Homo-oligomer: A and B are copies of this chain.
Amino acid sequence: MKEKILEHLKKGHEYISGDEIASRLGISRQGLWKHIQELKDSGYDIVAVPHLGYRLESSPDRLSGMEVSHGLNTKFIARKIHYFDYLSSTMDFAMQLGMDSAPCGTVVIAESQTKGRGRLGRSWFSPKYKGIYFSLILRPEIAPSASPILTLLNAVSICESVKNICGLDARIKWPNDVFVNGRKIAGILTEINAEMDKINFVVIGIGLNVNNDKRSLVAQATSLKEQLGHSLSRVALFQELLRRIEDNYILMGKEGSGPIIEKWRNFNLTLGGRIKVHFQDRYIEGQAIGIDSDGSLLIRKDAGLVQKIFSGDILHLR
């Protein structure tokens, strides 16, 4: 109901009478008043003037279903949004939803996380209302071994949306980090639930530093606010990101991984350079020479042998 009330308030910048809203939605004036109070409590600045009615002065920069859905116009990405003020981990919640048959495109978003997760059990710092922390359930019809392409697809989508909304050049460090001016702005965690020959579902977790203050960031990290010199609307950026993900996902479904990898190359920070890859118990060093069709990294070692890397921590050497 609150969503419907907001729809009416967002239609124009003029006052709209309470009677009109109430009768269109089939609720009482008192019921309407109660909902308006709750919206004001959630940060909506709604002015009420006798004989004129209500007017929406401003909306809070909250990543709620109401805000994110408004004008989103996607086909399946974020058609279903689970929004939380805080959550221990959007990944855990989304993996759970995936097992409970949540549809492809379902989004779990939290304004803050107490146990935000990064790759390999690392933590992701998620201060309230500063960044965008969400998990996305996808059900791609690809083999489990092809799933790394999804990490690339999401990295590309982040770069595109940062470019479109902020005008900044974001670059990808293989496989899952996004950098702006040499410092990390976003991380991607991909988890799969699969049989040997079929993906049941994939959960993509994205953490993106938006309005984080410089003093709250570690040395290697940055935020869009720090880069731009001013804060920006998380809602607008998030909507653009969701649209980019959907477009790229549809593109992959139609034309395979080729166009995604092509885009990835244009955003990449890793190809061509000399790198060192750390695994749990060893490392290899060489030249990053290419990306395979499944998203894995090809490294030419000093002896000339080419090795295929599905994932790992890489260090860019000079």
In the assembled complex, the Cα of A312 lies from the Cα of B95 at a distance in Å of 26
**CB pair A119 B195 closer than 8 Å:** yes
**CB pair A196 B311 closer than 8 Å:** yes
Counting CB contacts under 8 A, is A218 at the interface? no
Contacts of A92 in B (CB 8 A): 99
**CB pair B95 A193 closer than 8 Å:** yes
What's the nearest-Cβ distance from chain B to residue A155, in Å?
12
**CB pair A310 B120 closer than 8 Å:** no
Within 8 A of B (CB), among A181-218: 189-198, 200
Counting CB contacts under 8 A, is A165 at the interface? no
Question: Given contacts A99-B92, A310-B143, is CB(A120)–CB(B191) below 8 Å?
Answer: no
In the assembled complex, the Cα of A293 lies from the Cα of B21 at a distance in Å of 68
Number of chain copies forming the complex? 2
In the assembled complex, the Cα of A193 lies from the Cα of B95 at a distance in Å of 9
A contacts with B, residue count (CB < 8 A): 30
Counting CB contacts under 8 A, is A175 at the interface? yes
Counting CB contacts under 8 A, is A135 at the interface? no
Name the residue on B nearest A311 (C-beta).
B197
Name the residue on B nearest A197 (C-beta).
B311
Counting CB contacts under 8 A, is A106 at the interface? no
Q: Which residues on A are within 8 Å of B, measured CB to CB?
A: 92, 95-96, 99, 119-120, 141, 143-145, 147-148, 151, 175-176, 189-198, 200, 280, 310-312
Task: Identify 16 new A-B residue pairs, CB closer than 8 A, beyond the known A120-B195, A196-B311.
Answer: A92-B99, A95-B193, A99-B99, A119-B196, A120-B197, A144-B144, A145-B310, A147-B196, A148-B196, A151-B196, A190-B195, A192-B192, A192-B193, A192-B194, A196-B310, A197-B312
